[in-house]
């Protein structure tokens, strides 16, 4: 048995996460400033999340560079990006 193969629940969660990443990234590739401003007005971000959002999604900077610039660890930036992505996704695709 292949131990690397995900079980049903974990595999589905990974697929959902990948879909979420694709949808949010696709939005930012095609969205105009007005679309981005509309989403930003609907979500609540901390000051650090606003900085990360601007650097990662608007200025297209690397997460490692952002971590160095903000003097935090790479994992903190990845966590912030995931949190921002979830908020944006929920704003765009709410029921």
CATH code for position 50: 1.10.10
Q: Per the confidence metrics, is the pTM higher than 0.85?
A: no
Q: Mean of the pLDDT values across residues 48-71?
A: 94
pLDDT band, residue 13 (cuts 50/70/90): low
Q: How far apart are CA 10 and CA 67, in angstroms?
A: 29
Q: Considering only CA atoms, which of 64, 61, 81 is closest in space to residue 72?
A: 64
pLDDT band, residue 4 (cuts 50/70/90): low
What residues make up the domain containing 57?
32-95
The answer to whether position 25 is within a domain reads: no
The answer to whether position 59 is within a domain reads: yes
The answer to whether position 9 is within a domain reads: no
From the number of C-beta atoms within 10 Å of its C-beta (0-12, 13-18, 19+), residue 3 rates as: exposed
Q: How many domains does the chain have?
A: 1
């Amino acid at each position: 048995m292949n131990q690397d193969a995900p079980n049903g629940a974990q595999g589905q969660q990974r697929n959902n996460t990948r879909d979420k990443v694709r949808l949010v990234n696709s939005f930012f590739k095609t969205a105009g400033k007005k679309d981005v401003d509309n989403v930003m007005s609907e979500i609540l971000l901390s000051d650090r999340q606003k900085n990360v959002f601007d650097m990662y999604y608007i200025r297209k900077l690397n997460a490692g560079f952002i971590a160095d610039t903000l003097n935090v660890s790479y994992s903190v930036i990845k966590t912030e990006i995931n949190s921002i992505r979830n908020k944006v996704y929920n704003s765009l695709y709410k029921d």
